[in-house]
Amino acid sequence: MHSKVVIIGSGPAGHTAALYLSRATLEPVMFEGFLANGFAAGGQLTTTTEVENYPGFPEGIKGVEIMEKFRQQSLRFGTNIITETISKVDLSARPFKLWREGKEAKDPDTADSIIIATGAAAKRLNLPGEETYWQLGISACAVCDGAVPIFRNKPLAVVGGGDSAAEEALFLTKYGSHVFVLVRRDKLRASKVMAKRLLSNSKVTVLWNTVPVECKGNGKLLNSIVTRNTKTDEIGELAVNGLFYAIGHAPATELVKGQIDLDEDGYVITKPDTTYTNIEGVFAAGDVKDKKYRQAITSAGSGCMAALECERWLSEKFDE
Ligand SMILES: Cc1cc2nc3c(=O)[nH]c(=O)nc-3n(C[C@H](O)[C@H](O)[C@H](O)COP(=O)(O)OP(=O)(O)OC[C@H]3O[C@@H](n4cnc5c(N)ncnc54)[C@H](O)[C@@H]3O)c2cc1C
Looking from the CA of residue 296, the nearest atom of ligand 1 is 11
Q: 48: pLDDT confidence band, cut at 50, 70 and 90?
A: confident
Going by C-alpha positions, the residue among 56, 85, 80 that lies closest to residue 2 is: 80
- HSE (side-chain half, CA atoms, 13 Å) at 78: 9
Instruction: Identify the pLDDT of residue 47.
Output: 84
User: Is the domain defined by 124-245 classed in CATH 3.30.1640.10?
Assistant: no
Per domain, the residue ranges of the chain are: 2-121+249-318, 124-245
Task: For residue 42, report the phi and psi dihedrals to the nearest 5 degrees.
Answer: 110, -25
Angle between helices 163-172 and 192-199 (to 10 degrees): 30
Q: Is the pLDDT of residue 172 over 90?
A: yes
Helices marked H in 51-129 — which ranges?
A: 63-76
Instruction: Identify the pLDDT of residue 144.
Output: 85
3-state DSSP of 180-234: EEECCCCCCCCCHHHHHHHHCCCCEEEECCEEEEEEEECCCCEEEEEEEECCCCC
Q: Quote the mean pLDDT of the chain.
A: 95
Q: Is the pLDDT of residue 128 over 70?
A: yes
Burial 44-74 (b: 16+ CB within 10 A, else e): bbbbbebbeebeeeeeebebbebbeebbebb
Equal fold, 2-121+249-318 vs 124-245? yes
Catalytic residue among 109, 112, 144, 310: 144
Ligand 1 centroid – CA 88 distance (Å): 20
Q: Which fold has domain 2-121+249-318?
A: FAD/NAD(P)-binding domain (3.50.50)
Is 310 noted as a catalytic residue in this protein? no
Ligand 1 centroid – CA 42 distance (Å): 7
Instruction: Identify the pLDDT of residue 320.
Output: 62
Ligand 1 centroid – CA 81 distance (Å): 17
pLDDT tens, position by position, 306-317: 999 999 999 999
151-170 mean pLDDT: 94
Instruction: Identify the pLDDT of residue 38.
Output: 85
Tell me, what DSSP letter sits at residue 270?
-
42-49 mean pLDDT: 90
Q: 103: pLDDT confidence band, cut at 50, 70 and 90?
A: very high
